[in-house]
Chain A
């Protein structure tokens, strides 16, 4: 079956513009996570969805960041008024459920590389 897909693969934008990043999880996976990887840094958790609701938004760095999920499927991460420090690879992962069991391993998409000029 298809894995997690993300689009676009690369996005170059000007400072101050808004951007939308898309994630298509594996079909049937109820849990969806967004992570960010800035140059030279480890992956940072941004937000978690269980179904269409987001019970944990603790990793969002500012109110310029928001995300939604519809139909327990596609998720969109929106960054408003982009800043240069938003430049990073944004990774999406999905899992069957949210737990610490190995059966609920997170599967990652290829990421979207965002460059803010």
Chain B
């Protein structure tokens, strides 16, 4: 069966420090991978998605970047965190099979920038 892992679960970082959040998927090949930020009252904001190794699409101009160095690994990064980067970050995967486009989500990372 497929599983998705995210780490760390929680993170407290000072303003200006770097960030690296990791997401890995097991049990599937060539998935589409996604990074979201979930904010209370504002739903899920799509940050990045990837349809293959090295292929990254950015949805929102911001202080963050993403990389996909391996088929089932997706990394969210920042060189210098801002206070506004605080939030709950979700990784998700899907396999674009017609009629079964649904996504599966990881447990999330709570990031607090101080």
A binds B: no
